[in-house]
Chain A
Amino acid sequence: MDFRFTEEEEAFRKEVQDFIRESLPPDWLGVDPGPEEESREEVYPLALEMWRKLGDKGWIGLTWPKEYGGQEASLWKEMTLLQELAYRGVPGMDLAIAQADLLLNFGTEEQKRSFIPPITRGEVKWAIGMSEPNAGSDTFAVQLRAVEEEDCFVLNGQKIWSSGAHHAKYQVVYARTDPDKHLGLSVFIVDLESQGITMRQITQMTGIPAFCEVFFDNVRVPKENLLGEKNAGWQILLHAFGGERTYGLFIIYNAKRYLEQLVRYCRETSVSGQPLAKDPLIQNRLAQIAIEIEVGLNLGHELNWMATQGIPTVKASSQIKVHGAAIAQRLANLGEQILGLYGPLNEDSKWVKLGGRFRHTYLSAVAFSMAGGTSETSRNHIAGRFGLGLPRK
């Protein structure tokens, strides 16, 4: 057992840290991982810029084959990059990365050559079309129809909660090609500029219109954009769920940044003549969160190690997702309490503290136990055949 990183990994980490420091404003407070905060007007240009810069460094798709623009580097290297980006709250890492992973595993040669290189160059953004109003945790309840015609598939229906779809060029759409619930899904790569696609942005309680309803009205999708086999979409779906391992991890690295900001705030702020950091109650609460974050980080290291060893990670990913969401919510709550009445202030108030980041995370962390797989379904995975082997009800 060895808890250290290699010299090479440490060197790369430093390289990433330098890159981040050079690319971001010095007072950068950070944004949450994922595309949500990119929909803030002031963040979007920086997100596009960072995505392109990462492409220039060759850091998008580090583990991918060189023939598609990757570097065939180790998984550790990629995790190091992603963790540093999450920790520093860097915008720009696109959902395209996870979608390219699907292409690599299920795509034709032509699809890989066509779609992956632009992703590695940071030139194009992708979205995911999975959930529908009646298909959330029950993903197989998808109803959007894809009818096969001579030269294409015709898509009709609706997707919802598609993060960043309004900024994306392509969307990976899970559609029904056969009435059989589990064996009737197919996956398509849809050009979001196609005829028949309309979108409506949905504003979250953070105030950010981060995701969309996407409506498909007789949208014609070329047959060569079918990903994997017709009606075998379940395989891609399961693979996609496995990829969620990183989400919980990112939430925890993200939380580490928030905690450090909160600790610094407590050191620098005095109330009734004493720094908040000296208040035993506050110390106690901060310590508790620090413990939980440390636990999460270690769960994450083990999870990454398991992935490099090819050990199945569904249970561990589910665990870390549940844990990460819970920590983030508790931390947000604690931050708001410590900030007192300043806590609820919006970032454009002249009285705001910490750039309003805690108000943001208080509102956004609510979704962490729901987005990308709810904590309840994650616990089902842990209880069920991936983890404890308990029987389904």
Chain B
Amino acid sequence: MDFRFTEEEEAFRKEVQDFLAEALPEDWLGVDPDGHNEQAVEELHRFDLEMRRKLAAKGWLGLQWPKEYGGQEAPTMKQFILEQELIYRGAPYWALSAALMIGDFILHFGTEEQKRRFLPPIARGEVQWAVGMSEPNAGSDLANLQLRAVEENDCFVLNGQKTWQTGAHYADWAIVYARTDPNVSKHKGISAFMVDLKSPGVTMRRIPQMTGHPAFCEVFYENVRVPKQNLLGERNKGWSVALFGVATEKSFGHWLLNSARRDFELLVQYCKETCVNGQPLAKDPIIRNRLAQLAIEIEVGRNLGYRLNWMAIKGMPIVAEACQMRPFGGNLVQRLANLGTQILGLYGQLDEQSKWAKLRGRMKYLYLGSAAMTIEGGTNEASRNTVATVGLGLPRG
């Protein structure tokens, strides 16, 4: 057992840290890994695009991809380190990650022509992707999706609706899961398509969230014609694309834990610098106790993440472990936000636009934004089901 990184890995980490020190503004508070900040605020979105181009210029998008498609064929650990640093510093991450994920799908399921067409623009940071999965009646029960794709001579015609599509209003393309055969069992009649969001028939409506940031959309498909060469993988085999995503996704929970470290340090710093009744908050035994508890959990999270990554590198199945981290991460951010709001007292409720706001309203944002963090991208409950069935081998209910 060895908990160290190699010299080469440490050197790369430093390279990323230096890059971020330059690329991020000095007082950068950080955005969350679910993309809900930068996909909602125009200014942050532009910054996201800029960051993506800079990362692409360093050759850091699609690190693990074959060189012929714009990748670097770098080891998994390098990708892990890059991701860890970006998320820890709260650099915009969601959109580039969604694109990479879809790129991975294309690498695994796509034709040669699709790989050549779609991967290089992603590696160059030129294109933003959205994920068309959930529908009003298909969330945790994704297989219940209804959006229809009817095959015609030269294309598929899509009709229906997706919802909760983060950043769709800024995206160029979307991967859309649609029903191509309503006559077989629901998992067996799904196909995955790459859809140009500028296609005629695509309309969007942004959905405001309680943070005040409308980060995601309902996307309506009305007779949208999708060329047959945009079908990903085999017709009616789209569910295996989704499953591939689940099997390889290295845990939203891990991202949350990593990002939480930054917010936690912010809170600790605040407690060190702020005096109440003549004493720094950091000297208050109850506050210390609560901060220490979070520190322990964040450290646990960090180690879980290392282990998860090591397992992935070794090619071990990681679904159950990734699902373990998901509720752990979501719950931790909520506890952190709760504690932060309490420590800040009445200031904790102030928006960053108030002149009295502390930490530029970061705790208030986190308090409201973290409500979604036990639900989005796979709920805590669904994750625990996977831990129970895949992890512990318990029978399905």
Tell me the A residues contacting B by CB distance below 8 Å. Answer: 279-281, 284
Mask of B279-293 contacts with A, CB within 8 angstroms, 1/0: 000001110010000
Contacts of A281 in B (CB 8 A): 285-286, 289
Contacts of A280 in B (CB 8 A): 284-286
Tell me the B residues contacting A by CB distance below 8 Å. Answer: 284-286, 289
| Minimum Cβ distance to chain B for residue A204 (Å) | 28
Q: Given the complex of chains A and B, what is the CA–CA distance between A281 and B289 in angstroms?
A: 8
Q: Which residue of A lies closest to B289 (CB)?
A: A281
Contacts of A279 in B (CB 8 A): 285
Q: Could you show 8 A-B contacts with beta carbons less than 8 Å apart? A: A279-B285, A280-B284, A280-B285, A280-B286, A281-B285, A281-B286, A281-B289, A284-B286
Closest 8 CB pairs of A and B: A280-B285, A281-B285, A284-B286, A280-B286, A281-B289, A281-B286, A279-B285, A280-B284
Q: Given the complex of chains A and B, what is the CA–CA distance between A281 and B284 in angstroms?
A: 10
Q: Given the complex of chains A and B, what is the CA–CA distance between A281 and B71 in angstroms?
A: 54
Q: Given the complex of chains A and B, what is the CA–CA distance between A279 and B285 in angstroms?
A: 9
User: Apart from A279-B285, A281-B285, what are 6 other A-B pairs with CB-CB below 8 Å?
Assistant: A280-B284, A280-B285, A280-B286, A281-B286, A281-B289, A284-B286
Contacts of B286 in A (CB 8 A): 280-281, 284
Contacts of B285 in A (CB 8 A): 279-281
Q: Which residue of B lies closest to A283 (CB)?
A: B286
| Minimum Cβ distance to chain A for residue B60 (Å) | 46
Contacts of B284 in A (CB 8 A): 280
| Minimum Cβ distance to chain A for residue B396 (Å) | 14
Q: Given the complex of chains A and B, what is the CA–CA distance between A279 and B286 in angstroms?
A: 10
Contacts of A284 in B (CB 8 A): 286
Q: Given the complex of chains A and B, what is the CA–CA distance between A279 and B284 in angstroms?
A: 11
| Minimum Cβ distance to chain B for residue A266 (Å) | 15
Q: Given the complex of chains A and B, what is the CA–CA distance between A284 and B289 in angstroms?
A: 11
Q: Which residue of B lies closest to A280 (CB)?
A: B285
| Minimum Cβ distance to chain B for residue A287 (Å) | 11
Contacts of B289 in A (CB 8 A): 281
Q: Given the complex of chains A and B, what is the CA–CA distance between A280 and B286 in angstroms?
A: 7
Q: Which residue of A lies closest to B288 (CB)?
A: A281
| Minimum Cβ distance to chain A for residue B321 (Å) | 28
Q: Which residue of A lies closest to B284 (CB)?
A: A280
| Minimum Cβ distance to chain B for residue A370 (Å) | 21
Q: Given the complex of chains A and B, what is the CA–CA distance between A22 and B220 in angstroms?
A: 80
Q: Given the complex of chains A and B, what is the CA–CA distance between A280 and B283 in angstroms?
A: 12
Q: Given the complex of chains A and B, what is the CA–CA distance between A281 and B290 in angstroms?
A: 10
Q: Given the complex of chains A and B, what is the CA–CA distance between A356 and B252 in angstroms?
A: 47
Q: Given the complex of chains A and B, what is the CA–CA distance between A280 and B279 in angstroms?
A: 15
Q: Given the complex of chains A and B, what is the CA–CA distance between A281 and B292 in angstroms?
A: 13
Q: Given the complex of chains A and B, what is the CA–CA distance between A279 and B289 in angstroms?
A: 12
Q: Given the complex of chains A and B, what is the CA–CA distance between A284 and B342 in angstroms?
A: 15
Q: Given the complex of chains A and B, what is the CA–CA distance between A115 and B286 in angstroms?
A: 57
Q: Given the complex of chains A and B, what is the CA–CA distance between A340 and B200 in angstroms?
A: 71
| Minimum Cβ distance to chain B for residue A26 (Å) | 37
Q: Given the complex of chains A and B, what is the CA–CA distance between A336 and B286 in angstroms?
A: 19
| Minimum Cβ distance to chain B for residue A283 (Å) | 9
Q: Which residue of B lies closest to A279 (CB)?
A: B285
| Minimum Cβ distance to chain B for residue A383 (Å) | 16
